[in-house]
Structures are given as structure tokens and as C-alpha cells.
Structure 1
Amino acid sequence: MVKLSRPFVAVLSALLLVLAVTSPARAAAAPEPPSQRYLVSGPKTPQQRSQVARTGAAIDAVRKDGSLEVSAIASELKAIKKLGYTVAALPSPQPYQRLATSYHTFAEMQAELDAVVAAYPQIARKVVIGKSYQGRDIVGVKISDNVAVDENEPETLYISNIHARERLTAEQTLDLIGTLTRGYGSNTRITNLVNSREMWIFPMVNPDGQVYDMTSDTQPGRMWRKNRQPAPTDLNRNFPYKWGCCGGSSGNVSSETYRGPSPESAPETKVLTNFVRSRIVGGVQQIKLFLDIHSDAEMVLWPFGYTYNDTVPGSMSTDEEATHRTIGRTLAASNGFTPQQSSDLYITDGTTDDWTWGDQRIFSFTFELGGGSFYPSPSRIDSLVAGTRDSLLTLTEYADCPYRAIGKQAQYCAA
């Protein structure tokens, strides 16, 4: 028998302990199979819906009877059942044929932006603000008179398709770009907006996810939500305000609401936050209104998502809450959606509009478009986006002084 010295035994024991602690099997759970779609019956209140969201499942829609359409992995499904709710599997989206009017691919979106800029060079300029994980451009347009000049005008920022499968959202922003450019010079309302605002519009801020989701012309898509990093991240849970604070996202890499290992860990998130920060000129944020377009729930939402409180000392005053609420209700009166604070739906954290308001003090909203699914038939695109067109223009009109909504422009926006 070989007799080991005590110092050698001590070193060996320490090494084995380190290997045990850092073993990949112990450091992270094995990935779970992809999520499936389910109908959850039973939750009725924001708190009950938040219970479901806290499992990590993505709540895709809230039906009129209160039941929830969710995307959940096996461990989340088990947790939902443990809450006492009834769960049933949902069928896959029905295939559709590609029509003359159909959803834009990423390449088609880029071509459309190029065509707009070529046709309206005085008021439209193509902008690339960064790259996705796989190296695709995060591209949009700036629309304003004197578009090549950074004028002292209120700015608005619109983004869409942050969740890859929410395909109608890109069509809505492309429609806005067309409305503003084609209407300039002939429509007084649009001409006034273009002359007095600087508008930044980004139709596909999750291009890798969008390309992956749009698998063929004869089926809706893969139901893909996140970006395409090796550990894919829900970009709308990765923003650096109240990140991971409140049960509104998941730390499980297999979850549809995986928030990433740290705030801004997704390159697409970082591109967006860097762009917004770049619009601080002379210490003042130039973007006055922000809109993140999602689907599918027919809602107008405003901050905060991380707390049920309407007001938060130092973060959301009574007048700030009233301004958000009044504008939100005005927009809903235009597009027929339901207006409410984001957390009235369920708790979320690390989201776009919680960050744009909570960190940057930009009045912020989310539209949840309609259509009945993430992939409405392409034959419905025109009518669906037309129903929301006016509300986008109305939101833009508030950029000069959002407090005008509550009659306090003299108090807050006097020169």
C-alpha cells in the first residue's frame, strides 16, 4: 500500500471539492425540451396571472373568459398544475399559403426601407444602429423634414418584432413608415408631424429570431420568441431596470421568458439601450415618447410592469401616472383596444418600457395588436394594421408635451 503524506491528501481533497462545485452537471440544470402551447383555465386576477407568469411560462394571450394561452416547458407546466389550474394542450397554428400581400421577410423589409429612402430622400434616412448576435443589421429609418440634420425637435421611437413570432408587429411599423412618407405634402396632419418631429422607426429589432421563425412560405412559423444566442434570451426581459426583480421572468435557460445571465447580456438589447442613451443631447433625453409593438391581446399598456402600484415615489408621480393613463385611454379609444397599466395584466420585469420610463424618463407604451393569433392570415394584414394607424399618429402628436393630455403643459412644458 502506498502511504500518502498529509499535505498531499489535503491538496487532493481540496482539488476534488473544487471539481465537484464547478462540475457542469451541478452548475446548471440540463436543458429541457422546447416549450409547448397550453390553455390554462382558472386564473382570473392579475395576481393569479402573475402566479402563472412566475413559473416562467410565457403568457401568450388572455382570452375573454379569463383563460390563458401559454407557452411552457415541462417544469413550468408541472408548476402551473401544482397551482391548481386546469391545463389542456393547444393545437399548432394552421398553415397558410403565401399571398400577394404577405408578411415581410427580413430581406424584404430591408428592401422596402431602401425603396422608401430612395423615393423620399428629403424626409427619410436609413439608419443601422448595430448588429444582432448572428451579425444582421438592426435597421430602421429616421423620418423628419431636414432628415439629415439633428434638429431641436421632439423625438419618438417605435420598435417592433422584439418577439420573433409576433409577425404582425413589423407590418404595423412598415405601414407607419409608408403612411408618413406617402402622406407628406398632401395630408396636413402628417405634414405637420413630419415637419415638427424626429421619428425613429425599427421594424425588426430581433432579426435573428425573425429569420429563424419564418421557416417557409406554407406554414406560419416555429412559434419562436427569443433571440438566437446559444442560450436564447427573451429580449423583453433583458433590459437593465428592475431586471429579474419580481418574478416576472425566468432564470431557466429553457424558458420562453429567460432573462439572460445579466442585464443587457443580449447584443440586441445592448444595441437598443445604447441607441436610446445616444439621444441624450446636452444632458437632455431627446426621445419624448416610446412605443413597443407586440401581439396578440388588443391592449394599450403603460409602465410599470414590475409592480402593481400605480405610483412609485421618485419613479412615477401622480401627474406622470395620470399622463400615461390619459394618453393610453385616448389611444385605446382610437384603436378599440383595452387600456391598462402593464401589471394589471401580470407582473413582468426587465422590460423595454419599464426601462425607457424608469431609467430614461421617456413616456412609454406598449401596443398588443389583435388578430387572434401570432400568425393571422396574410389576407387580414391590411385591415388589422389600418385599425391601429390613427392611434400611432395620435401618440406622435403628444411628443411636443405629453403633459398636455392632463392640461398641465404650462406647468411642465413652458419654454
Structure 2
Amino acid sequence: MRLPRRGRRTTAAAAIVSLALAITVGTQASAAPAPDEGPKDTVPVQQYEVADLDTQAERTELARTGTPIDEVRASSVVITADAADATRLRDLGYELTALPGTAVERNDFQAAAPSDYHTYADVLTVVNQTRTQYPNLVTSRVIGRSYQGRDIIAVKVSANATVDEDEPEVLFTHNQHAREHLTVEMALYTLEELTTQYGTDPEITELLDTREVWLIPSVNPDGKVYDQESTGSFRSWRKNRQPNSGSTNVGTDINRNWNYQWGCCGGSSGSTGSETYRGPSPESAPETQVVANFVRGRVVGGEQQITSHIDFHTYSELVLWPYGYTYSDTAAGLTADDAAAFRALGTALADTNGYTPQQSSDLYITDGSINDWMWANQGIFSFTFEMYPRTASGGGFYPPGSVIDRETARNREAVLLLLDYADCPYRITGRESTYCA
């Protein structure tokens, strides 16, 4: 069965992706949160280039204002902000230049329309159809529900999917950030490729005979629906849709809400209006807790069955690994051997797709992230893939539907390589006898 591909359709009415989008963007000075100025769901935003940011420390200082960084350039960054936030940043001494027009217009791309991408309901339909067609290869289950009550599903793909076998497990998560719809397409591509090619492609057949694969297509279904379906055009929404106590602002950044070094190091915001708001406590977002509980539930006989993980995001074409909370290559729970294995495997993954490999904090400090938690708390080799485009000129968070097939297939070899090394990631540095005997 060929899954229905939304990306094959083109739409004449392009969505404006850099101007007049609704978003929650608040700022937090390093010393104190920004005041609650009321709900910002309908505030227009656009992208700006922020000049003279050459180092990790300078980029981190900007991030500590509560401003998420869309893209890192050689000596500047690109951010998305509303007019009030742009004014605050200028008052703090930052040099902002509004990017003229839209990224799509500058390069003759057609911005994606919401209909170019699978909806949340489409995803459930595709999973159910695939499970019906491949009952021995695919199972799925609801692992919990979002704040608004939508099912968060985990899909298992393996040669004997109905049985929990003693095989290395690999987890792929997608769509922590609502507007990153290309990541959901990545989940559906992986599901299709593994099922349709089993028994035909020798590599996929061997891997599914010896591995168990888990896909969570949408960690943040409420945010996805809100961004994609609520108005007929994209809203550039990032967070979940959970109300914040004592504030009219809505949403927690799920990828700053994980229970390792949460809020430790200026890599997230305590302001409810910020796009990087970390929540009032670790795992306060129900979506974070659902996925964390699922991962904890894969501990069998005292041993974590999941050995490897990719969390898919957009955009910038990067392969990232822990830690994000510190600039140091090694830290508590991350030895020189661990760091070498991350670096070697991350570089090998990037060699397959042309992404740039680096430690997460090489960009700027983040805390409470999924990668840091997966490794430090569960011992899972965890990577983030920032997918297409490399820059805003390719469509930013909303690349045109015409690139979906190409850009998801671009990660085929990386997915298979991670599955190959799932038995012992240290094998890539020749240390399997030490760590995987």
C-alpha cells in the first residue's frame, strides 16, 4: 500500500510564513520574566536577522531572553518575533533587521498550505490502515492523552510485532513543536518504508527480524491541530495548548519540560509568554509525561530496551547530541567514551543525509531537553535531527509540499544506520567489548 502523500498536491493559495502569523512569543530578561501582557495567540510576527552573534555564549545570552532561535548563521541568527518583542530586544542592545517579504518569496518557493500536510486525523487513519494491512509487522497503542484529550499513539514495527521480544529497540519521536509538520511526514515515511520493503529489501528485512522499532508520530497533537487546522492557514505555533495558571498565556515548550537539568542553566524561560517556557515543573506538560512514562515502561528486567532514539525537528539540517545544558564535551554521566561514541555515530548519521553534526550546546545552551533526559536518565543514545530546510529561504518551518517526499526519503539511510547500531552504539568506536559484552 502506498500511503496517501499530502506533499504531492500543490495549492495555489500560499500561506504567508514569515509575516502576519499568529504566535506566542514573549521575552524574558535574564534577571526576571517579562510581564504577562495578555494572550498573544493572534499577534502578527515575522522573522528577523539578529546581527553580531558569533559565539555560543552570545547566542545563549539571546536565548536567555526567552527568544527561540530559528536558525544559526555564521555571525548572526534568525528569530521569529512580534513587534513588541522586537522592540524589547532592540532595547536590550540587539541589532534586528526584518527579513523583507517572506522566505518563500525570496527564493521562488511556494509556501506550504495546511492541506499539503497530513492532519492529525489523517495520521490516525494511515496508522490504522497500515496495521490492518500488515498485522504481523505493525501494532499500535494509545500511550496517553494530550491536555485536550487527543490520543498520543506509539506504533511498533517489527517482524513479530505482536510479541515483546528480547531485541534492541529504537524510538523515533516527532512533532514536539507544533509547527514542525514535516516531522510527522517523516514518521509516516518511515512507517511506509519499513512495511512495504520488508521481505523485499534485504537490509530492512534483516533489521526488522532483529530489532523493534517504535514511532510516536505526534507528541504534540493539540499544538499540531491548532497550528494547522484552526484558521485555514498556519499560525506558527510552537508549544502545547495547556493553560498556564495565573496567566492568560497558553502553552509549555515540551522540549524544555523534561526532568533532567530542568531550568538549570538559562536554556529555557520562566515566562509563560515565551516560546521556550519550561512549565512550572518538570513533566508538568501531560505530553512530556506520557512519552516519559512510555520510555520508563520499556525497562524490562531492570534493563532499558530502547538503546537509540531520534527526535525529529525542523529546521536547519543538523544532527545534534547531548548535552545541551553545558558547553563541556563531558559532564556527569557523559564520559569521554560516551562522547566519542555520540560524536562518531552522529557524524556517520550526518554523512548519509548531508546534515551538519555537532553537540547540541555548540549552538546555544538548552535545558530540560529530551536528548539530555534520554541519555542521562535512561542511558539511551539520543539524537535530534533538524530537518529541511537549511535556511529560512527554503520555506522555514513550512517548506512547500512538493519537497516532502524528497526530504523524508533523505533520512532513509540514517534511520537504517541507527537501527544497525542499535545492538551496541559503542561498536562505532570499537568499544563493544568494553560496553556490550
TM-score (norm 2): 0.84
Following the alignment from structure 2 to structure 1, what is the Cα–Cα distance between the partners of residues 192 and 200? 13
Partner of 1:40: 50
Higher relative contact order (CA 8 A, sep 6+): 2
Which deviations, in whole Å up to 9, do the C-alpha atoms of 1:57-103 show, x marking residues without a partner? 0111123x43212134667545533453310234567674759x931
Secondary structure of the corresponding residue to residue 78 of structure 2: strand
- Paired AA for residue 375 in structure 1: Y
Which deviations, in whole Å up to 9, do the C-alpha atoms of 1:128-178 show, x marking residues without a partner? 110000000001310112111111101111001110101111111111111
Partner of 2:187: 173
Answer whether contact 1:154 1:399 (CA < 8 A) is retained.
yes
Is the counterpart of residue 272 in structure 1 residue 291 in structure 2? yes
Partner of 1:223: 236
Partner of 2:200: 186
Answer whether contact 2:111 2:399 (CA < 8 A) is retained.
no
Partner of 1:52: 62
Which deviations, in whole Å up to 9, do the C-alpha atoms of 1:287-331 show, x marking residues without a partner? 10011000101000000000000001x410010000000000000
Partner of 2:137: 123
Q: 1:57 to 1:27 in 2, by over 3 A?
A: closer
Partner of 2:272: 253
Is the counterpart of residue 62 in structure 1 residue 72 in structure 2? yes
Partner of 1:239: 258
Shift of 1:204: 0.9
Partner of 1:85: 94
Partner of 1:387: 410
Partner of 2:379: 361
Number of aligned residues: 385
Bigger mean CA deviation after superposition, 75-84 or 53-62 = 75-84
Which deviations, in whole Å up to 9, do the C-alpha atoms of 1:88-124 show, x marking residues without a partner? 234567674759x931000111111011101111010
Partner of 1:14: none
1:111 to 91, 102, 125: 125
Following the alignment from structure 1 to structure 2, what is the Cα–Cα distance between the partners of residues 199 and 354? 21
Answer whether contact 2:306 2:380 (CA < 8 A) is retained.
yes
Answer whether contact 1:97 1:218 (CA < 8 A) is retained.
no
Secondary structure of the corresponding residue to residue 263 of structure 2: coil
1:341 to 345, 354, 359: 359
- Paired AA for residue 237 in structure 1: R
Shift of 1:218: 6.3
Partner of 1:71: 80
- Paired AA for residue 38 in structure 2: P
- Paired AA for residue 328 in structure 2: N
Answer whether contact 1:71 1:256 (CA < 8 A) is retained.
no
Q: 1:144 to 1:97 in 2, by over 3 A?
A: closer
Following the alignment from structure 2 to structure 1, what is the Cα–Cα distance between the partners of residues 133 and 34? 55
Answer whether contact 2:158 2:208 (CA < 8 A) is retained.
yes
Following the alignment from structure 1 to structure 2, what is the Cα–Cα distance between the partners of residues 73 and 233? 18
- Paired AA for residue 362 in structure 1: I
1:201 to 203, 215, 227: 215
Q: 1:171 to 1:227 in 2, by over 3 A?
A: same
Secondary structure of the corresponding residue to residue 359 of structure 1: helix
1:141 to 155, 161, 176: 155
Shift of 1:31: 3.4
Q: 1:59 to 1:227 in 2, by over 3 A?
A: same
Following the alignment from structure 1 to structure 2, what is the Cα–Cα distance between the partners of residues 140 and 175? 15
Shift of 1:35: 7.4
Q: 1:194 to 1:266 in 2, by over 3 A?
A: same
Partner of 2:18: none
Q: 1:141 to 1:89 in 2, by over 3 A?
A: same
- Paired AA for residue 118 in structure 1: T
Larger radius of gyration: 1
Shift of 1:127: 1.7
Answer whether contact 1:298 1:338 (CA < 8 A) is retained.
yes
Partner of 1:31: 38
Bigger mean CA deviation after superposition, 260-269 or 371-380 = 371-380
Q: 1:164 to 1:333 in 2, by over 3 A?
A: same
* Percent pairwise identity: 50
Shift of 1:36: 2.9
Unaligned runs of 5+ in 2: 1-32, 105-109, 245-250
Secondary structure of the corresponding residue to residue 223 of structure 2: helix
Following the alignment from structure 2 to structure 1, what is the Cα–Cα distance between the partners of residues 291 and 410? 28
Shift of 1:333: 0.6
Is the counterpart of residue 164 in structure 1 residue 178 in structure 2? yes
Following the alignment from structure 1 to structure 2, what is the Cα–Cα distance between the partners of residues 213 and 310? 36
Answer whether contact 2:34 2:271 (CA < 8 A) is retained.
no
Unaligned runs of 5+ in 1: 1-25
Q: 1:97 to 1:408 in 2, by over 3 A?
A: closer
Shift of 1:47: 1.1
Answer whether contact 1:73 1:254 (CA < 8 A) is retained.
no
Following the alignment from structure 2 to structure 1, what is the Cα–Cα distance between the partners of residues 419 and 307? 9
Partner of 1:3: none
